[in-house]
Amino acid sequence: MTTVGVLALQGSFNEHMAALRKIGVKGVEVRKPEQLESVDSLIIPGGESTTMAKLAHYHNLFPALREFVNSGKPVWGTCAGLIFLANKAVGLKTGGQELVGGLNCTVHRNFFGSQLQSFETELSVPKLAKQEGGPDACRGVFIRAPAILEVGPDVEILADYPVTSDNLASMAPSDEDKENEMGPLDRVIVAVRQGNLLGTAFHPELTADTRWHSLFLRMGEVKGERSLQCASASNSD
């Protein structure tokens, strides 16, 4: 039976554990580097990425987390976990934050603003419906949420979200953003897949819809490149 590790330093790890229980999968809370040796895949939950990075640093987890990402085993970052997995993070108060990296994208840490600007919306994720059944739509719970501003060619976009004057207003331009020299964005990316890595800017573990967890588990069942991309190629014609 597959064992899913859930990084349990801070944030919504309990909710991920509960979602795994709901679909009958064994979840293990991970707090020490050696615990990563006995899990088949890893979820890095949402929370507060600076705090999580400080705790990960304190427990000497970064080398083991990077090794895990590079091993090809599935890793899913939700919200702060997505920030952890990004190769680059920009946005206010990003300075000095350590990242695990591996996901070829640039994330804006607080794109959608502060706690007060948290929101729920319906997202269209055709790939989720194709893989797991059910409707294209899924509930997106965005809490002080990040957004992905740009991705590399090896990254598959699973869901995006329109940039409106409301959420643009919350995107206070920082020096790092100016350095990016990115023009105005019509849409930002909120869910991606790159090989063994899955990233969502929102929190599926806070909804009753366990399809994201099922999809993540499937990434572990299908080894190597025979993954979503293959499935999408065969489904797209």
The residues carrying an active-site annotation are: 79, 203, 205
Give the residue carrying structure tokens 């800017």.
201
Instruction: Give the one residue of 5, 27, 47, 113 binding ligand GLN; rule: CB under 6 A.
Output: 47
When asked if residue 16 is in the footprint of ligand GLN (CB under 6 A), the reply is no
* Helix, strand, coil percentages for the chain (3-state, nearest 5): 35, 25, 35
Instruction: Give the one residue of 5, 27, 46, 204 binding ligand GLN; rule: CB under 6 A.
Output: 46
Measure the CA–CA gap between 75 and 39, rounded to whole angstroms: 11
Q: Is 154 left (phi over 0), alpha (psi -120 to 50) or beta?
A: alpha
Nearer to ligand GLN, 209 or 228 (CB): 209
When asked if residue 147 is in the footprint of ligand GLN (CB under 6 A), the reply is no
Measure the CA–CA gap between 17 and 217, rounded to whole angstroms: 13
Which region among 78-86, 150-158, 173-181, 213-221 touches ligand GLN (by CB under 6 A)? 78-86
- Looking only at residues 86 through 125 of this chain, which bind ligand GLN when binding is defined by CB under 6 A? 109-110
- For the record, the structure tokens of 184 come out as 């105005």
Which region among 23-31, 43-51, 119-127, 176-184 touches ligand GLN (by CB under 6 A)? 43-51
DSSP character at residue 227? S
Nearer to ligand GLN, 80 or 123 (CB): 80
Closest CA to 186 of 167, 173, 172, 201: 167
Nearer to ligand GLN, 177 or 227 (CB): 177
| Sites of contact with ligand GLN (CB under 6 A) | 46-49, 79-80, 83, 109-110, 143-144, 146
